[in-house]
Amino acid sequence: MPTLSPSHPHPPLASNAPLAGVSVKIDNVTLVRGNTPVFEALNLQLTQRRIGLIGDNGAGKSSLFRLICGLEKPTTGQVQVQAESSVGMMFQNPDEQIIFPTVEDELGLSLQASGLSRKAARAHARAWLEARGLGPWAERAIGSLSQGQRQHVCWLALLIASHSLLLLDEPFSSLDLPAQARLERDMASVSQHVIVSTHVLHHIRHFERVIWLDGGAVKRDGTGVDVCAAYEADVAARAQACGLTAQ
């Protein structure tokens, strides 16, 4: 059984022409989840093709994604998404995303949204996997895949669909180093707008825009180089204050 790495060069994922008109406006949003206040009067306008989202555990990264894709409604304020087609979300936990028992069925689900029957969608998914050198994966049972392999299937399920905006919530977290490099390359080549949250800063340091969330508020918003450096300095200062730095 091959790995999830394509065994031969695969066709381009999509045209490199940027999709016009993707814009997300977070307008004075307050969000309370359960009893936890997550955001208070949050304002953001997101239009860049590549945006990184960083911050400590619990800072609000996944909550922001859930607001943008409509899984969460703001308690007050408005979330407006303007896009030519749908918003696709890659969940932090693959088991929250994957519904079907096999890889081809799961990828087929992404295609059914465009009106294909389940059978036709499955056949299309199989051919698409074949073209990427991943044919033997089509019939693999999801339950037989490792965590990282399931995470990769979630990315493939986004790629095969025709979303305008991709939200990737810690997509590198379970991937081995070759798979991280492949995902980084894929992300660079897709025409869709991408917002990605990660704790692995080198994947987003080169982005034109990175947002650092801290306790549900924007702590810094600017180029990847600037914002990642500021976050790293803050983490280092906190570690030093706790006596966690190496002598």
Ligand X SMILES: Nc1ncnc2c1ncn2[C@@H]1O[C@H](COP(=O)(O)OP(=O)(O)OP(=O)(O)O)[C@@H](O)[C@H]1O
What residues make contact with ligand X under the rule CB under 6 A? 33-34, 36, 38, 55, 57-63, 92
Q: Report the distance separating Cα 94 and Cα 151, nearest Å.
A: 5
97 binds Mg ion (CB under 5 A): no
CB of 213 to Mg ion, least distance (A): 10
Do the Cβ atoms of 5 and 178 come closer than 8 Å? Answer: yes
CB of 69 to ligand X, least distance (A): 13
CB of 152 to ligand X, least distance (A): 19
CB of 61 to Mg ion, least distance (A): 5
Residue 49 CB coordination number (10 Å): 16
62 binds Mg ion (CB under 5 A): yes
Q: Report the distance separating Cα 66 and Cα 60, nearest Å.
A: 10
Place of tokens 């999709």: 19
Task: Report the phi/psi class of residue 77: left, alpha or beta, with left for phi > 0 and alpha for psi in -120 to 50.
Answer: left
- For residues 92 and 97, which CB has a smaller minimum distance to Mg ion in the complex? 92
Residue 63 interface partner, choices ligand X, Mg ion, none, CB cut-off 5-8 Å depending on type: ligand X
Q: In 3D, which of 209, 208, 204, 230 has the Cα closest to residue 219?
A: 230
CB of 138 to Mg ion, least distance (A): 30
Residue 36 interface partner, choices Mg ion, ligand X, none, CB cut-off 5-8 Å depending on type: ligand X
Residue 216 CB coordination number (10 Å): 21
Q: Report the distance separating Cα 110 and Cα 88, nearest Å.
A: 9
- For residues 35 and 247, which CB has a smaller minimum distance to ligand X in the complex? 35
Residue 55 interface partner, choices ligand X, Mg ion, none, CB cut-off 5-8 Å depending on type: ligand X
- For residues 164 and 198, which CB has a smaller minimum distance to ligand X in the complex? 198
- For residues 107 and 213, which CB has a smaller minimum distance to Mg ion in the complex? 213
3-class secondary structure, 187:
helix
